[in-house]
Structure 1
Amino acid sequence: MKKSKGTPATILLLLIRGFLTCGGVEIEPSMNPVPTGETLTLSLSPAQNLKSGRWAVGESLILTWLGAQQALFPNYTGRASVDVLTGALRLTSVTVADSGVYVVQSSDPQLSTSTSITVLEPVSNVTLTVNETHLMEFNGSAVMTCSISSGSSATFLWLNGSSEVKASDRIQLSDGNSTLTIVNVTRYDQGPFRCHVSNPVSNSSSDAVNFTITYGPDNMVLTVNGLNTTSFVVGSNLTMLCSAQSSPAAQLHWAFRGETLNVTGSLLHLLHATEEQSGPYSCLAFNNHTNMFNNFTTNIDITKSPLSGSEQQAANVFLLLLLLLAGLISSFPDMSGPFSL
């Protein structure tokens, strides 16, 4: 039986792997990972004085040298060179295909050492697209897709304003996190949303996208004269203010005792209020985009004013005078006796 012969490259790789690493000698890259198009220099540390040697990546030979003479293999012509004194390798215009394990081997002095190099294509042209930007709260889903024109080993990160968007019951991340889906959007999902893409050699962000989300009316509030009370005296001037959370802004109408008033807007004024104007006042809200209604009712109590403190004191003094006068009259002698006229 004939023995199969290994290829020269395989034999070379086995020979290289057969050398013991020279104690303490390491390959020091000028950068790692390396962006495509850059120049990579692989130096030996500590520096060595090598009279001969060879460089390879994986099973591919790059070059060999002996003294001042060096020979490049075809795939590296015009891109690779070696410092024949120190053995440092210089590789220009690197591509993703230049990633791999680089091995330097020398027999004078004897050494073999290696390092792993990664070449990455920088991220460029980050683009964010959406299915639609006008949605109704709890009744639609926002789908955002992030894409890049170039970039290797890219990582996708989503931001809502300055906060990172993370997966939850309503938020789905798919396609390697390049697609973000928000199910049953809420008013807090308006954005701005951005997609940030990065790899170890670069990063870039998309333009921001905002959503218009219609909602409401809800969370209604009705105040009178800006106070917490609803009790007032006859003759008071009252200003009722109604508000509702709504997008777009809700149309507001007013009603008194269930009857619609000819008043629209957020304010209702009562000038010189009377007792007859006591009762329930309602603010009615309508959103013509969501077709939703809401209302808020408060009961206003308008009563006659009691005596003030000074008025009450004067009344007490008057009553006391009346009592004193009655006492004086009762103390006079009976004028119906014999000496009466």
Structure 2
Amino acid sequence: MAPSGYSWLLLSATFLNVGAEISITLEPAQPTEGDNVTLLVHGLSGELLAYNWYAGPTLSVSYLLASYIVSTGDETPGPVYTGREAVRPDGSLDIQGILPGHSGTYILQTFNRQFQTEVGYGHVQVYEILAQPTVLANSTALVERRDTLRLTCSSPSPTAEVRWFFNGGALPVALRLGLSPDGRTISRHGIRREEAGAYQCEVWNPVSVSRSKPVNLTVYFGPERVAILQDSTTRTGCTIKVDFNTSLTLWCVSRSCPEPEYVWAFNGQALRNGQDHLNISSMTAAQEGTYTCIVKNTKTLLSGSASVVVKLSAAAVAMMIVPVPTKPMEGQDVTLTVQGYPKDLLVYAWYRGPASEPNRLLSQLPSGTWIAGPAHTGREVGFPNCSLLVQKLNLTDTGRYTLKTVTLQGKTETLDVELQVTREYAGRGKACPLLDGGGGSKRSLCFLHQARGHRPKMDMPPPSD
């Protein structure tokens, strides 16, 4: 306990400071929460009577930590004593298991036997072991140029320094400009797509550092630059030439996040296709026209489109005859389909063999109706597109067919095709091609693959008389 009259001594002695220099150093110099710390006193002189330690900015009784009598070793706690402090005989102050709350200014006041005082100042900064911070976002999915990003670094340590990371590196300039004065909040108006990515904050002090888990930001944009690709070549707003009966795949591409929805249209009519590509398996005149891809972003609510015109190539436009089916059998119907027929057609005629009147099967008049010719069997039908249907084929229908067309300008064009009718063999259900046997006779050749490896047999018609 302090001797009688000691309180008066403290009050009166405070006015007798001679200003001698006392230095105080900290051991360790950068204490961490939980360390045992000593405020070492240097430069004491003369025979001292007592020490007062204050934990505060002034020599106020309200900041008094402890008083120590040198002669007896008695220590008296003050108002701010926490139970962790102890004064040494040499005036140094020990603090056991120091806490962040011990940070601040410390003042040592000494008294000599002449009631003169000396004062020394020290400062303690306790650095805590920092807990992992958390990044709080107002949203992790924003629309470009429309929404505002707000990120906050949440940490239980108010004194820790804060720094931010974007995809593991430094923040973009625009985001650095949006930092709050304390560095704990980022605000970005009209977010951009290049600012999408992983954000982290890090808290640190001289003895500890801790980084948050990443928060991944998605920025929705588009669709932009909608285009239709064909054979890896961008074609938009132009014409694609395609050979007859070849396949074509159109790809719809755009810059969009997320992936947009797709709608295809052909000559203004929607197609049942929700994919990013459209397949045309066999190009004919019926597939000629304008193909449009419409894309819509369900997040930005924006849309875009691109169109191409698909046409048969010049080689394909030249008139040609294609049997459908290509290998008709006896009893079937066959259509001699005409591709690239003249658009300014006036009349046409079909012939069984060379284009002569006795061989004429039928003709189409300018009125659009057709009339039978001398060679018509009742099984042939003509169509406005010049195609010829031959029904219920028989073996005698094998041979050459000739088409003759006349345009409004008087241009005449003749084209022929060889039709091969095959016989279906009753025993095996296989087609048997007709062979020219000479003298106008025809024979069918069928190969019978028997179980025991017999030689192929030739099916021959009975000889004519």
Relative to the length of structure 2, the TM-score reads 0.49
Alignment of structure 1 residues 1-341 onto 2, 5 Å:
18-20=19-21, 27-43=24-40, 54=51, 56-57=53-54, 59=59, 60=64, 62-64=66-68, 66=70, 70-75=73-78, 76=81, 78-82=83-87, 84=89, 88-95=92-99, 96-103=101-108, 114-119=121-126, 123-124=130-131, 126-148=133-155, 150-165=156-171, 168=174, 172-174=178-180, 176-227=182-233, 234-235=243-244, 236-273=246-283, 280-299=290-309, 302-304=312-314
Number of aligned residue pairs? 292
Question: Residues 97, 297 of structure 1: CA spacing in aligned structure 2 closer, same or farther, 3 A cutoff?
Answer: same
Which residue identity lines up with residue 248 of structure 1 in the other structure?
Answer: P
Aligned partners of 1:32 and 1:118 also within 8 Å: no
Q: CA deviation at 1:256?
A: 4.1
Which residue identity lines up with residue 119 of structure 1 in the other structure?
Answer: V
Question: Residues 152, 140 of structure 1: CA spacing in aligned structure 2 closer, same or farther, 3 A cutoff?
Answer: closer
Question: Residues 234, 168 of structure 1: CA spacing in aligned structure 2 closer, same or farther, 3 A cutoff?
Answer: closer
Q: CA deviation at 1:74?
A: 0.6
Q: How far apart, CA to CA, are the structure 2 residues paired with 1:201 and 1:300?
A: 70
Which residue identity lines up with residue 258 of structure 2 in the other structure?
Answer: P
- Which structure has more RCO (C-alpha within 8 Å, separation ≥ 6)? 1
Q: How far apart, CA to CA, are the structure 2 residues paired with 1:50 and 1:38?
A: 32
Identify the residue that residue 319 of structure 1 maps to in structure 2: none
Aligned partners of 1:120 and 1:151 also within 8 Å: no
Q: CA deviation at 1:292?
A: 2.0
Deviations 1:146-204 (A, max 9, x none): 433x4242333343332444774896444734333332334444443334333445444
Question: Residues 114, 280 of structure 1: CA spacing in aligned structure 2 closer, same or farther, 3 A cutoff?
Answer: same
Aligned partners of 2:86 and 2:93 also within 8 Å: yes
Aligned partners of 2:102 and 2:124 also within 8 Å: no
Aligned partners of 2:130 and 2:157 also within 8 Å: yes
Question: Residues 39, 227 of structure 1: CA spacing in aligned structure 2 closer, same or farther, 3 A cutoff?
Answer: same
More divergent stretch after superposition (119-128 vs 155-164): 119-128
Identify the residue that residue 330 of structure 1 maps to in structure 2: none
Q: CA deviation at 1:91?
A: 1.5
Q: How far apart, CA to CA, are the structure 2 residues paired with 1:258 and 1:34?
A: 77
Secondary structure of 1:90's partner? strand
Relative to the length of structure 1, the TM-score reads 0.64
Deviations 1:78-130 (A, max 9, x none): 5334554x6653212334245214448697xxx97643222355544744444
Supply the RMSD in Å over aligned alpha carbons: 4.5
Q: How far apart, CA to CA, are the structure 1 residues paired with 2:172 and 2:11?
A: 48
Which residue identity lines up with residue 19 of structure 1 in the other structure?
Answer: A
Secondary structure of 1:100's partner? strand
Q: How far apart, CA to CA, are the structure 2 residues paired with 1:251 and 1:233?
A: 27
Secondary structure of 1:192's partner? strand
